[in-house]
């Protein structure tokens, strides 16, 4: 992918791809990000949507985001059916799913079966059986599927991956990820819940472990992406640090990777005082890399036996795969939305490839297989924690 090159969608199709959105209306946090990310590079336009499952509310929310009333739907099923009847070259070609976790599976299946490409918010689904089924379906359809673990879209994260691949660190030894948030630091259960809080606090909807699904899968995918590896087993302590809480808000995990590294991963949504503090450190035999989300435009590289380097987004000596996903030149900060948009930009290329019958072999956006690995990681951590920290496998 090279964002400085001519827009391949405009070149191939003469206009942006047509996207339908499911969820993300009203006060949604992630909805505006998906929509901004989709359109930022002129590769998608949002032409239809299901902003809310409540009809009247959905209509108002659709108008608020500029949707045509005639293409604002009350359900995924309605959208899929109605869009399929539009004239050739007018109906949606892809859907973006940003609904509560327990709805993802059915909606993904519905979209894929209708021949639509899918971008799905994380966590992909709530158990590994669904994940395997979904992976099979994606493979069999040949459609493009992107899971929005957006942290891997940051240019300096991609630079880290490229450096690891190039052997800059040598054999990997230790991988550390900390992800500390404060959204659940207060006992929110004791107050009036927002819609979002209500389904998050309902384990039937949010999945086997709230904190692991919400941010543990981000931490896991980030570590796997950068080190180009898989976690094979974990020893974990999972639970709640806020008294009286019945969902998980804390997980500390010791992990081992197929590339031989080990390390620790700590995630919590109950870290009073935290912002959205995600830190990755990778150590190999020749040095280390550190990336912090609070300063995403920089990557620290400390080689053994040579001066520490601070690499900046846009530096001309970066790897082409990092430079390819940069919009604004060095010294001009980019942020969360641009990282998210990088997933969409490459997803657009995957759609073109799928249309051409030559699916992308190894895209850098998170795939359905990454989603499967993520849910297996969650399940293994929960299992280990229940068994006094005994190492549990998370592959297979």
Contacts (CB under 8 A) with its own copies, residues 295-354: 295-297, 301-304, 306-312, 315, 317, 327-338
Site for its own copies in 31-70 (CB under 8 A): 32-33, 36, 39-40, 42, 63-66
d(CA 321, CA 240): 39
By CB under 8 A, the residues from 93 to 122 that bind its own copies are none
- What's the Cα-to-Cα distance from 115 to each of 23, 81, 140, 141, 330, rounded to whole Å? 20, 12, 11, 8, 40
Q: Rounded to 5 degrees, what angle do the CA atoms 38, 41, 43 make? A: 65
190 near its own copies (CB under 8 A): no
Q: Indicate whether 182 belongs to the interface with its own copies (CB under 8 A).
A: yes
Would you give the DSSP letter of residue 95?
A: E
The interface region with its own copies, picked from 47-55, 137-145, 191-199, 259-267 by CB under 8 A, is 259-267
Q: Binding residues for its own copies, how many (CB under 8 A)?
A: 91
DSSP-assigned letters across all residues of 137-181 = HHHHHT--EEE--GGGGSHHHHHHHHHHHTTTT-SEEEEEEEEEE
12 touching its own copies, by CB under 8 A: no
Report if residue 264 touches its own copies, rule: CB under 8 A: yes
Question: Is the CB of 65 or the CB of 201 nearer to its own copies?
Answer: 65
Smallest distance from the beta carbon of 93 to its own copies, in angstroms?
A: 17
Q: 31, 153, 263, 371: which one contacts its own copies (CB under 8 A)?
A: 263
CB atoms within 10 A of CB 114: 18
Window 219 to 258, contacts with its own copies (CB under 8 A): 235, 237, 241-243, 250, 252, 254
CB atoms under 10 Å from CB of 328, counted, come to 12
Backbone angles phi, psi at 243, to 5 degrees: -55, 135
Nearer to its own copies, 60 or 193 (CB): 60
Least separation in angstroms between residue 315's CB and its own copies is 7
């Amino acid at each position: 992918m090279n964002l400085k090159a001519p827009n391949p969608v405009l070149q191939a199709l003469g206009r942006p791809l047509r996207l339908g959105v499911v969820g993300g209306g009203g006060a949604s946090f992630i909805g505006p990000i998906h929509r901004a990310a989709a359109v930022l590079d002129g590769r998608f336009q949002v032409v239809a949507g299901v902003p809310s499952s409540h009809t009247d509310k959905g209509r108002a929310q659709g108008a608020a985001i500029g949707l045509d009333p005639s293409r604002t739907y009350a359900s995924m099923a309605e959208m899929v059916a109605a869009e399929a009847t539009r004239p050739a070259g007018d109906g949606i070609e892809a859907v973006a799913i940003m609904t509560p976790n327990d709805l993802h599976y059915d909606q993904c299946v519905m979209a894929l079966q209708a021949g639509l490409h899918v971008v799905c918010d994380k966590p992909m689904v709530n158990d590994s059986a669904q994940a395997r089924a979904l992976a099979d379906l994606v493979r069999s359809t040949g459609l493009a599927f992107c899971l929005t673990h957006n942290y891997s879209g940051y240019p300096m994260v991609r630079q880290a991956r490229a450096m690891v691949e190039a052997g800059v660190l040598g054999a990997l030894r230790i991988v550390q990820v900390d992800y500390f948030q404060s959204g659940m630091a207060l006992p929110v259960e004791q107050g009036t819940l927002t819609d979002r809080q209500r389904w998050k606090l309902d384990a039937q909807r949010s999945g086997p472990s709230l904190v692991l699904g919400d941010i543990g899968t981000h931490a896991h995918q980030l570590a796997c992406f950068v080190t180009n590896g898989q976690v094979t087993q974990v020893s974990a302590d999972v639970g709640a640090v806020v008294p009286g809480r019945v969902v998980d808000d804390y997980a500390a995990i010791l992990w081992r990777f197929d590339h031989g590294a080990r390390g620790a991963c700590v995630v919590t949504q109950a870290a009073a005082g935290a912002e959205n503090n995600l830190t990755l450190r990778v150590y190999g035999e020749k040095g280390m890399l550190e990336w912090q989300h609070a300063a995403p435009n920089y990557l620290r590289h400390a080689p053994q036996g040579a001066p520490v380097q601070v690499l900046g987004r846009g530096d001309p000596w970066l790897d082409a795969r990092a430079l390819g996903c940069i919009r604004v030149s060095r010294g001009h900060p980019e942020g969360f939305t641009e990282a998210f948009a990088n997933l969409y930009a490459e997803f657009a290329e995957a759609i073109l490839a799928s249309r051409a019958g030559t699916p992308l072999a190894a895209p850098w956006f998170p795939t359905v297989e990454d989603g499967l690995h993520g849910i297996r990681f969650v399940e293994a951590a929960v299992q280990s924690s229940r068994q006094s920290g005994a190492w549990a496998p998370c592959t297979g």
